Structure 1
Amino acid sequence: MAKFTQDEIDKINSNLRTPEDALRWAFDNLHDKVAKASSFGAEDAVITDMMIKLNPKARFFTLDTGRLNQETYDVMDRTSKKYNINFEVMFPDTEEVQQMVRIRGINLFYESVENRKLCCEIRKVKPLNKILSTLDGWITGLRHDQNENRQKASMVEIDKMHGGILKINPLIDWTWEQTMNYVKEHELPYNKLLDMGYTSIGCEPCTRAIKPGEDLRAGRWWWESDTHKECGLHMDHSKTT
């Protein structure tokens, strides 16, 4: 994998104006060693549509934690059929899940932050690490307006959490309204949870619809007080300088 310096990344970002610019750059430079991570939220619907238009052979993967909403499986199926996508589905290790549940209980995540992070580690982080170890870059749906932690993210960045591979965030400068407008205008298959007030899609027990005026990710692990809540897939930009 070709390594990029931060100065090179800064120069790349200075030349990118649109989400499509970022995706073209990724395809031109990372070829088939870049893939889109999808949790089947609104951002994923938009980026999937853009990617297929630019590269019909683009790669997509998703993490099936075993605790997803049925609506998420439904939109995965509709998206796969519309675009003829064969999603690479990553699953957690069965023995690790069984041991965790046996020792800490089926709903361990409600009992402590430590338990919740362990569940995320086993069900999401480890499967993600497994597929990212085979890639030179991954494409995400991060946006600045999702929460305070993500306001320092860039369109293309070095992912220090995952061995220095590149992380491409095509919609980083988009708003929630822009994202949903694209979904509606292009009549994309989308997760029906969005119609129920969900603005972030995760596991069923750990995600709820948000209330008026709440942060767009307030529905994730709402019982925790930490404002920098992440599952461990993305670096905490609040701790970087």
Structure 2
Amino acid sequence: MTPLLRVDGLSKRFGAVVTADGISFEVPSGGALAVLGPNGAGKSTLLSMISGALKADAGTITYDGHDLTHVPAARRSAMGIARTFQVPRPFSGMTVFENVLVAASFGGGQRGHHAYERAASAIETAGMGRHVNEKAGALRLLDRKRLELARALATEPKLILLDEIAGGLSEHELPELIQVLKTLKAEGVTIVWIEHVVHALNDIADSAICLAGGEIIARGGVAEVMAHPKVVEVYLGAVAGAGDLA
């Protein structure tokens, strides 16, 4: 199967600090890849290079058969790549609908009633319909996360990059978010998901990679990666057992 996203030899450094060192992987269309790793492993830098917010020092990014390595972020968004951020930063004084409409108009290039329709659809998919006229600044964390997702969906992505979207949610809130992501995957949206809440990935991710020091130290299924000795050592130290990571 031809991958929707192929990353080949991607590298990035900030002075003496290496945040990506020859990273390579593929994600098939409609697939979901989990990106694991401790803080400072280079996970968010990786998403920033894929989305175009950061320029890679070396390597190539191929998306839907197109070389994106030197394509600017706005063009990548127009081609169907969307991203959420670990800390949602909506326009607090705007309503949920206004926030998503801005994304549909400027991120997705929609105009007029098409932008309104796309915004309304994204809000419903993200489960935010009952909050459509609420100010974004008054939302609880789960709903801010959903709004972040709705803004990304308003651009009509083929590929969505999720940066710890489950972080900070309670065990009661988490299933609601996972159900939204299941719906997206069922609709054929390809997902690359950074997450520390590992059990949230089990129903979504088809495969996983783990980063440490800007390198991939393990790849495979989520359970397989989390049981890998190098991953156990990175997360908990060499004395920890793999079962502690479940």
Q: Same-fold call, TM > 0.5?
A: no
Bigger share in helix: 1
TM-score for both structures, normalised by structure 2: 0.28
Bigger share in strand: 2
TM-score for both structures, normalised by structure 1: 0.28
